[in-house]
């Protein structure tokens, strides 16, 4: 199998629309005003650990 990386220029790329849940319904991020876009960019993401496991330091920040 060939492990060469595929390179695409911007004209060949397909835009990806990101949706998020806001106030109980889903909306595309592209429809947000500037303030809501900034708030969306500042969001922290985390993953839950099973009860009794030790948390990683980066999960405790923020």
**For residue 1, is pLDDT > 60?**
no
pTM over 0.75: no
Q: What is the pLDDT of residue 38?
A: 92
| pLDDT at residue 15, as a whole number | 84
Q: Which residues contact 26 (CB under 8 A, 6 or more apart)?
A: 19, 20
The Cα diameter of the chain in Å comes to: 49
φ, ψ of residue 40 to 5 degrees: the values are -65, -40
Tokens of 8: 């695409």
Domain boundaries, the chain: 15-41
pLDDT at 10: 87
pLDDT digits (tens, 9 = 90+) for 5-55: 888 888 888 888 989 887 788 999 899 999 989 988 898 877 887 877 666
């Amino acid at each position: 199998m060939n492990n060469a990386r595929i390179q695409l220029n911007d004209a060949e790329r397909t835009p990806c629309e990101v949706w998020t849940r806001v106030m109980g319904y889903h909306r595309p991020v592209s429809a947000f005003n500037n303030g809501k876009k900034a708030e969306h960019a500042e969001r922290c993401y985390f993953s839950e650990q099973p009860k009794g496991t030790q948390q990683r330091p980066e999960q405790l920040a923020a």
